[in-house]
């Protein structure tokens, strides 16, 4: 059992470039109601511990501890621009929160809601992913490796498109009751390419939340 990308979420999500163009003049997101300069990543390694964005002072972030048999490795360098670094860090936190919801077996878990805009496509996507694992009786095990990060910051500095690769070749589902690991043979299905549109919070300075997410399956450009 690998990630089951929701066809609805992917179909609804527009491309990051189009959404940034359409929303570039917006006022950012509110958690209560809730071209572009690119910054390519390098190879500084970060583990599944809280990301670089957690260094922003004054934000009470949810803890997301994982069991010892699961890890998320982010081999993505922090951009020098503070806004780009924060958007990237919270995009990482958004995908981390999805797995945390799966581990907790809770489609209403607070972590993914904290890192996504209320009522957004990204929030619906996260809930769907968690629910599919819950309905199947699965949790996660193994290692996910994220790399090749890139941040495109909108001209107004209030939105950013964050993209990265995900290597799931050593990531598996695990039956909650039996603890059986559902191993699969290596294939192109192990690779995903994420594009996440992030918005700067109006209420918590330094916090960014996911608005839209588009996931490409069989992303062979992410191999190697």
Asked if residue 204 has pLDDT above 60, the reply is yes
| pLDDT of residue 40 exceeding 80 | no
Q: Look at residue 203 in the predicted model and tell me its pLDDT.
A: 87
d(CA 85, CA 178): 41
Tokens of 51: 């990301």
pLDDT band at residue 43 using 50, 70 and 90 as cut-offs? very low
Pairing of strands 181-182, 159-175: antiparallel
**60-69 pLDDT, tens per residue?**
999 999 999 9
The predicted-structure confidence for 87-103, as pLDDT tens digits, reads as follows 999 999 999 999 999 99
Q: What integer pLDDT is reported at residue 1 of this predicted model? A: 59
Average pLDDT over residues 51-58: 52
Output phi, psi for 72, to 5 deg.
-120, 120
Over residues 129-145, the pLDDT tens digits come to 999 999 999 999 999 99
Write the secondary structure of 30-58 as one string of H (helix), E (strand) and C (coil). CCCCCCCEEEECCCCCECCCCCHHHHCCC
- Of all residues in the chain, the percent with pLDDT exceeding 90 is 72
Beta strand 138-153 with 70-75 is parallel
In terms of pTM, does the model score above 0.85? Answer: no
Q: Is 14's pLDDT higher than 80? A: no
Q: What is the pLDDT of residue 201?
A: 94
């Amino acid at each position: 059992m690998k990630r089951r990308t929701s066809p609805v979420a992917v179909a609804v999500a527009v491309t990051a470039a189009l959404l940034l163009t359409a929303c570039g003049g917006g006022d950012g997101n509110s958690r209560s109601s809730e071209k572009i300069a690119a910054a390519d990543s390098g190879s500084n390694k970060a583990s599944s511990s809280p990301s670089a964005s957690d260094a922003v002072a004054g934000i009470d972030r949810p803890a997301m501890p994982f069991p010892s048999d699961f890890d998320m490795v982010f081999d993505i360098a922090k951009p020098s621009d503070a806004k780009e670094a924060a958007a990237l860090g919270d995009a990482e936190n958004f995908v981390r929160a999805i797995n945390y919801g799966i581990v907790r077996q809770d489609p209403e878990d607070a972590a993914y809601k904290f890192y996504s805009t209320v009522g957004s496509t990204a929030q619906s996507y996260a809930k769907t992913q968690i629910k599919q694992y819950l309905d199947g009786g699965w949790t996660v095990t193994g290692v996910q490796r994220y790399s090749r990060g890139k941040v495109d910051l909108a001209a107004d500095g209030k939105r950013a498109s964050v993209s990265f690769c995900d290597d799931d070749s050593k990531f598996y589902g695990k039956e909650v009751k039996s603890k059986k690991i559902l191993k699969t043979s290596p294939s192109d299905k192990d690779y995903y390419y994420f594009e996440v549109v992030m918005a700067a919070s109006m209420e918590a300075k330094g916090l960014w939340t996911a608005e839209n997410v588009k996931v490409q399956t069989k992303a062979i450009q992410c191999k190697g």
